[in-house]
């Protein structure tokens, strides 16, 4: 650790055996720049490596929260606040309650291993390029498995391509998906493995 007592210009480089924090602590450390939806994470535990400045760093390790755990290898920069943060790297989870963290996504639980490159960490500013595997996701009371995806995710939509190889759904697509699933939206899904076409209506 070099640069003290000037904390904003101090270089941090250390391994963490066990670190516990919560939304309030992170809010204070980030000087009030922590998005409100991070409250849903509850108690946060971290073990791994941290290197860089407090607002421009690389983190490689394991993150445990009340709604899911992650393996991370990510560079995060938030000199202009988390709403304008930039980040890149890889993120993996075996289970995460996505809807608790981002209710607009309409996806309940998710498991993935993705490469990420994005801007914004607040619910209304995130825009993330994703590329990798979605092992499973729960949507409209069904858990889909074996998905690969490449595209851009924002609060409004997913724009890109994906392949689904679930036992009940074999599908390739490349188009925009509305995250909010507004009333009247129709999805035409070709179920090749059962030889028929199904149309799902969202009536919420």
What is the predicted pLDDT for the residue at 84? 84
Of 69-73, 116-120, 143-147, 200-204, the one with minimum mean pLDDT is 200-204
pTM for this prediction: 0.78
Residue 150 domain-assigned (yes or no): yes
pLDDT band at residue 7 using 50, 70 and 90 as cut-offs: low
What is the predicted pLDDT for the residue at 181? 52
Averaged over 4-19, what is the pLDDT? 74
What is the predicted pLDDT for the residue at 192? 38
Would you call 192 helix, strand, or coil by DSSP?
Answer: helix
User: Domain of 146?
Assistant: 7-201
pLDDT digits (tens, 9 = 90+) for 183-200: 444 444 443 343 333 334
Residue 40 domain-assigned (yes or no): yes
Sheet strands (E) in the chain: 12-21, 44-53, 56-65, 68-77, 86-97, 109-119, 127-139, 142-154, 157-166, 169-178, 186-191, 196-201
Please report where in the chains the tokens 């922590």 appear, as a residue.
34
Residue 2 domain-assigned (yes or no): no
pLDDT band at residue 142 using 50, 70 and 90 as cut-offs: confident
Averaged over 96-106, what is the pLDDT? 86
pLDDT digits (tens, 9 = 90+) for 39-62: 999 999 999 998 988 788 999 999
Residue 155 domain-assigned (yes or no): yes
| Contact in structure between 45 and 54 (CB atoms under 8 Å) | no
| Tokens coding 7 | 């904390």
Whether pLDDT at 103 is above 90: no
What's the domain count of the chain?
1
Cis bond upstream, residue 47 (ω within 30): no
């Amino acid at each position: 650790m070099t640069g003290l007592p000037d904390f904003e210009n101090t270089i941090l480089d250390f391994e963490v055996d066990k670190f516990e924090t919560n939304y309030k602590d992170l809010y204070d450390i980030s000087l009030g720049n922590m998005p409100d939806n991070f409250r849903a994470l509850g108690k946060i535990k971290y073990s791994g490596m941290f290197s860089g400045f407090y607002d421009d760093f690389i983190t490689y390790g394991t993150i445990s929260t009340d709604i899911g755990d992650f393996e991370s290898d990510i560079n995060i920069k938030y000199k202009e606040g988390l709403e304008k943060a930039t980040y890149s790297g890889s993120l993996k989870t075996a289970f995460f309650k996505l809807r608790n963290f981002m209710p607009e996504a309409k996806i309940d639980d998710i498991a993935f291993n993705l490469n990420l490159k994005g801007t914004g960490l607040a619910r209304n500013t995130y825009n993330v390029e994703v590329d990798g595997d979605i092992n499973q996701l729960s949507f409209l009371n069904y858990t889909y498995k074996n998905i690969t995806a490449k595209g851009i995710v924002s609060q409004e939509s997913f724009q890109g391509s994906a392949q689904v190889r679930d036992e009940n759904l074999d599908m390739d697509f490349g188009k925009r998906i509305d995250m909010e699933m507004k009333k009247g939206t129709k999805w035409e899904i070709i179920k090749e493995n059962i030889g028929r076409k199904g149309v799902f209506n969202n009536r919420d």
